[in-house]
Structure 1
């Protein structure tokens, strides 16, 4: 060890310009790293994750698990570089998280999950959604809407068309997921004699309304 130290000291004394050049190079590299290294309040050190949320209004947690979560999990078991699949089933809501190996590309993972999701056989009217990528903080806020004067349908309309749009406009918000309430619907009653009179069918009316 003493010979190595003496050798380094001797080399430094014999070649001062080389030592000066190496020192300057280290200083420049350090300054470059200091100014260009990204700094985040909450660094994302987690593995790549894909979250699939499915709503099935009015169904119990047991029904959601049996008809929604289990078929999706079965299909996702063959996805590449998967390490674990976790699911949470609530009243009318299925929450599935797929965790991938470290270093897995987020875009490719989401694309493969979306492709496999299209192959899952689910009940009519059920549309699962692959959630946008979020930061390490993940879900940061939950709220409920209650009113003594407004109905569940009015609250749902307020959430979908006012509150959700304003929240999505906030910088940094990845997505807003809502469930519960009643979606406002319109019913159209056709009169068969009038359809015959104008040479129309029920399908023509349906197409026009779309």
Structure 2
């Protein structure tokens, strides 16, 4: 006996099975969570170092390369990505899935105390961030002026940053670069 003939001979049972499947589908849709930005955490950590007044080429050779050479010693690294900008170096370490990122953060902080000696004078304290989908910036604002670079950081921090912090729902305002 095959399934089609059983379905034809027992139409009420067939109807009940299909109604149960449809009801189960509606219940599943009702309880399914939907997020605009669902939480998805890659096993990665970024080290951001600011060197005010330095060109992208200088940041690449003096800061980013030094960071890459030392940070490549951290366990369980899958890939290292880096970007150098005027005044800023960003080195991102991508780890193998299942890596304990808190332990790796401690390893990186320990290494940074050694790396700081090899960095040029004027570099700021490196910032270590465990990347999370909740850290993804919703907005990135650039401030530029053809003159008076000295006052741009003050404007970005005090006037723009302080106002943004007062907006409901703003979790964090970060200012990078500048003099």
TM-score w.r.t. length of structure 1: 0.59
Q: Look up the SS of the partner of 2:89 in the other structure.
A: strand
Is structure 2 residue 159 aligned with structure 1 residue 157? no
CA contact (8 A) 2:88 2:176 kept: no
Cα shift at 1:36: 2.9
Cα shift at 1:129: 1.2
Look up the match of 1:180: 178
Query: What root-mean-square deviation, in Å, do the aligned CA atoms of Structure 1 and Structure 2 show?
Result: 3.7
What is the alpha-carbon distance in structure 1 between the residues aligned to residue 109 and residue 6 of structure 2?
65
Larger of the two Rg values belongs to structure: 1
Cα shift at 1:69: 1.7
What is the alpha-carbon distance in structure 1 between the residues aligned to residue 44 and residue 165 of structure 2?
21
Look up the match of 2:72: 77
What is the alpha-carbon distance in structure 2 between the residues aligned to residue 129 and residue 156 of structure 1?
18
Q: Structure 1: 5+ residue runs without aligned partners?
A: 1-5, 182-210
Correspondent of 1:112 among 89, 96, 104? 104
CA contact (8 A) 2:161 2:173 kept: no
What is the alpha-carbon distance in structure 2 between the residues aligned to residue 173 and residue 95 of structure 1?
22
CA contact (8 A) 2:50 2:176 kept: no
Q: Structure 2: 5+ residue runs without aligned partners?
A: none
Correspondent of 1:57 among 52, 55, 59? 52
Equivalent pairs counted in the alignment come to 170
Relative contact order (alpha carbons < 8 A, sep ≥ 6): 1 or 2 greater?
2
Q: Look up the SS of the partner of 1:54 in the other structure.
A: strand
